[in-house]
A and B are shown apart, each in its own frame.
Chain A
Amino acid sequence: RRSRSKQSSVSSITDDQITDLVSKLQHLIPELRRRRFNKVSTSKVLQETCNYIRSLHREVEDLSDRLSQLLASTDSDSDQAAIIRSLLMQ
């Protein structure tokens, strides 16, 4: 593929490749998925990607926290404790 960029003689990455990858990324981000047919700037896609990754990280931390509390309470009678116990007994 030949790049349309003037500096393509130095870079081996084509503009087309980048556009493809960016649109593929856009599709993965819930915030931007519905705007697929309006052009979203690459800058915006990258920005939203960062925000999305950060929120996923927070969600993992939150879930780990909840799991940690659940594991501590597996000796109790709650429904959730029973589910965890049955999962871990396999």
Chain B
Amino acid sequence: MNNPHHLNPTSLKSRFTTRFLRALTKIRAQKPISSSSPTEIFRRYRRIKVAADKSMAYSVRSRRIWSRAMLWKLRSRSYRRQDPCSGRRSGKTNQAIMKKSSNENTTTRREDGVGFVEEADELRQLVPGGETMNLCNLLDETAHYIKCLTTQ
């Protein structure tokens, strides 16, 4: 593991690591001392995974389409857990927003003989917010997303 003192304090790695360590400390403080039931283990695993994704998304904030999409997903998930009714409503609104922007950007999804529409669609499903991106954005966002995933 890298010594935190050698990291550039403004780098993505450093921003992510600080946030993630803070989240882990909180998670460790919450849990009961020895709980090894499968549900508890899974719940803890989920919390860590979500903390990792949150730390990653917040380190990038709204500078990227994928991070905005991920932040939206994380927030709506927590709202839904608090109040099931409001979650359903905001889900519908977001679908409308997504559809609208995808209509504006669908120039590259027509049959233009480019030959990699299927692969591009597959990639769209893997990158957060990919469904709304045109090819140009998709490629650009993917590169940044991969950089952040390796940091994570």
Residues of A within 8 A of B (CB): 5, 7, 10-13, 17-18, 21-22, 24-25, 28-29, 42-43, 46-47, 49-50, 52-54, 56-57, 60-61, 64-65, 67-69, 71-72, 74-75, 83, 87-88, 90
Query: Are A25 and B136 in contact, CB atoms less than 8 angstroms apart?
Result: no
A-B contact pairs, 6 of them (CB 8 A): A11-B112, A17-B136, A28-B147, A47-B119, A67-B48, A71-B27
Residues of B within 8 A of A (CB): 1, 4, 21, 24-25, 27-28, 31, 33-36, 41, 44-45, 48-49, 52, 107-108, 112, 115-116, 119-120, 122-123, 126-127, 134-136, 139-140, 142-143, 145-147, 149-150, 152
Query: Are B24 and A13 in contact, CB atoms less than 8 angstroms apart?
Result: no
How far is A67 from B20 in the complex, measured between Cα atoms in Å? 12
Query: Are A72 and B36 in contact, CB atoms less than 8 angstroms apart?
Result: yes
Query: Are B44 and A71 in contact, CB atoms less than 8 angstroms apart?
Result: yes
| Majority-rule SS of B interface residues | helix
| Majority-rule SS of A interface residues | helix
Q: Pick the contact of A71: B24, B115, B122 (CB < 8 A).
A: B24
Query: Are A68 and B48 in contact, CB atoms less than 8 angstroms apart?
Result: yes
Query: Are A46 and B52 in contact, CB atoms less than 8 angstroms apart?
Result: no
> For residue B143, which residues in chain A have a CB less than 8 angstroms away from its CB?
21, 24-25, 28
Q: Pick the contact of A49: B4, B27, B31, B142 (CB < 8 A).
A: B142
